[in-house]
A = this chain, B = another copy of it.
Amino acid sequence: MLDINIISYGLGSIGCQIAKFILEKEGLKIVGAIDVAKEKIGKNLSSVLELEKQLEISVSGNAEALFSNIGADLVIHATSSRLEEVYHQILGCLKAGLNVISTCEELSFPYSKHPSIASELDRQAKAKGVTILGTGINPGFLMDTLPIMLTSPCKEVKNIKVRRVMFSGNRRDSYQRKIGTSLSQDVFRKMINDEKITGHVGLFESISMIAAALRWKLSNIEVLPPEPIISENEVKTTCMTIKPGQVAGLKSVAYGLKGKEKVITLEFISHANVKRPYDEISIRGVPNIRQKIIGGIHGDIGTIAMAVNAIPKIMNAKPGLVTMIDLPILSATLHDMREHVKWRK
């Protein structure tokens, strides 16, 4: 049986971790790698991934050229959160006849914010007979797929609240910077105003996905600007020291509204002072359901696993743009990945 041939598109922190995980998995093979960073282009993939084992792959800066030289089954795409920024990259993959799984947050449910991009991606994927999915731990699981699925034993649902409380102090450096760690309050607020800190990207998409699944016609989706969480103590993280009065992290809140009623509330809280991380879902309905993941789920590991565990579902899916509510439930893909695929080619 042939391996499932993968191209790694994007070798930032998440892209590199995904590539390393793919290299560990039986039945998967990396046949190409793409990044835009000049310092990575031309390098051997193993040195970018900081692996001892040499790989026979050098990082390409030209996706189109790579696609025309190398046959593959699927692209794992991890470059940016914003669909407008990555749209042309993904379209290039589809035009080359490649399935795509992307960690682009705005691709997880793009129909509300980017309807024309969504329909163009869907059209192109169908034309080429391939499938495209945006997924990750959040959006993709904790604040949308999981709460949606938890409504399935409900006769009625009045409202849904989801809260993610994360410990950020052991996350990657770029993540800690992204949430404003160790900034002063003033600088934090200025960076919010200048949109240099955006908070968690995906709350809008998660709310859209929940509403679509439940057929709730929302009058509005309100994403509030992130609020700083100020540290009272000195805190050392893996890469910085937060002084009292400085920012330990942030809180992002968003609402799905029917008139004035908040039928969906998502709260994303991530800072270096969190002692007991958790993910909690509260459904008010018949019956009420209160669910908690004690200790939470590590964001990077979760996103890497979701992206790779989605591979067989995408290989088996009907062509077009799909979201997590179109697919059969994902699971861990243990043993040989090829056993999870019903080959359609």
Contact = CB atoms under 8 A, between A and B. Distances in A.
Interface string A311-341: 0000000000000111111111111100110
Nearest to A155: B305
A340 B305 contact: no
A330 B152 contact: yes
Nearest to A149: B329
A118 to B, nearest CB: 18
A141 interface: yes
A173 to B, nearest CB: 20
Contacts of A336: 215
A137 interface: yes
A328 B325 contact: yes
Interface in A151-185: 151-157
What is the copy number of this chain in the assembly?
2
A58 interface: no
Contact of A332 (B146, B156, B306, B309): B156
Contacts of A288: 295
A88 interface: no
Nearest to A309: B152
A141 B156 contact: no
Given A289-B293, A324-B329, 11 more contacts: A149-B329, A153-B303, A154-B332, A155-B332, A214-B334, A215-B340, A287-B298, A287-B301, A291-B292, A328-B328, A329-B329
